[in-house]
Structure 1
């Protein structure tokens, strides 16, 4: 703008050199006026420029302020977004861990429920099986009460014998229960073991136990124990006491078993032991018990055994009643069936004894 004004002034100045003084004066005035106007315009322009510069600076400041504000806002938003992102990340991890634990817990509960269901099914099957066994057992019990009672007794006897083998003197407490039961043959070895422990003549404390175990043996296993090589002799020593403690039915049972046992093996070899038994019977309260003598004769089984038994009793002066009772039976059965002189001689001796009155003993 200044250059433009200067050019104009130069042009005007060159023109003025060709004009008259008056014209020059006028022109000079015009030039001055124009210069003044130009200066004024120039000043105005400078002011405008200054104002524009100031406005520009203000505008730039405002823009800078806006930029700073925007930058701060952006940073704040960015920070907030970053914090929110971190927050969401942390909570995402937390929720992930919680989800894992929840999934594991649900899986555990599921396995537990499945296990309980399996156990319940198994228990139901077992319950049905138990119910079936109970019903079966009930049927067996109802069908065979006697058999069940015998099994229970056998278990009880087993426990008592185990106790006695450990402490034979305890027989004072267990004698009655054992005497009242029907005891199986399989328990004989246990009774024999206890009897051997109780046979202790040097210790008076075993005297009662020795008597009671022999009484039990003679009651439940008369033939096995009486002829036993280990304990039979001890039993025969106290036989009179044992006989006095027994009931008639027990004496009859023992006699039957003794005769059968001897007959099935060798009555001839056991005749002396049998003679002592019947001598003890004759000296007991059962001397006149006809059932005892009839059982002894009947269970000889064979003719030969019957003659051997009578011959053995004829050799004793004590067994008078036996000869009287069994001799009659022998004569009635074989008087017309004598095969040799030895049998005839035995029958004659029986007849001779029968002519004598039998001795009478109080039952």
Structure 2
């Protein structure tokens, strides 16, 4: 078991690195766009959240006229000052736009954006930093989590399913809230066992596969037969535990079934709650290139296809019509999905 997990861990360190006519602007309105991207903990290669952002940057580099893209990574346990320094370095080196991946950048970005009013910034997953040069790219995680919660309940053969969050924050609680509501929609009597890997301001829960593996093993032993993990790179450990114990898990952010580093355990990944961070990153870069930057909150919800559930592997094909029905209900506002978990969970 440990050896299998150890083979996956080195992949966490994978490092980076139309014009048209008519009323619609050309995709890039100026030559030499320099894009800076500051990752959250785990960086490119986390098989989840950061990789979704990297996918958007890669698409932009392929489809748009970008002179240079610079990627910088965070380290576990770093201070806000370290995040400030990373953002400041990108702005000082004339990268514009600059993208901060993750809510932990909110306070650092607020400060740095004030120092560089001519630089356009995007903050993913938070609306706490505001300003004329800040775009807030946020998602309806609760809505996507509702659908995978319904999938978990429909596929479960136990009286319990599980949820593992990386760090106990309001953002990750949105995943929990939606998941619980989706489970309850299918089976009000089914329990949702909940565990967080760390408590804020300790964000190590997003980059600790060993903690994810131990937590998942505990939930499976308590009776859960499907566990939804919203914990970045720590999901690798959850999938390993599911594989070892013959159970199933649900991934997050990217379609984790398709991640090359997870090929040995992909058969336990029932589905994934997809956040289209890649779409948000690409569209932000595209709009910056068109000189069509828009400050403020830009929400990627279910109706906008900003969140979804994965069908890779075919494990949820048989319940597809039921999930599609629930999706329509949310998009049409016939179903209201909570953003905070039930009391006592």
Higher helix share: 1
- The question of a shared fold, defined as TM-score above 0.5 by the shorter chain, is answered with no
Normalising by structure 1, we get a TM-score of 0.18
Q: Which has the larger radius of gyration?
A: 1
> Which one has a larger percent strand, Structure 1 or Structure 2?
2
After TM superposition, the score normalised by the length of structure 2 is 0.19
Tell which has more relative contact order, 1 or 2 (C-alpha 8 A, sep 6+): 2
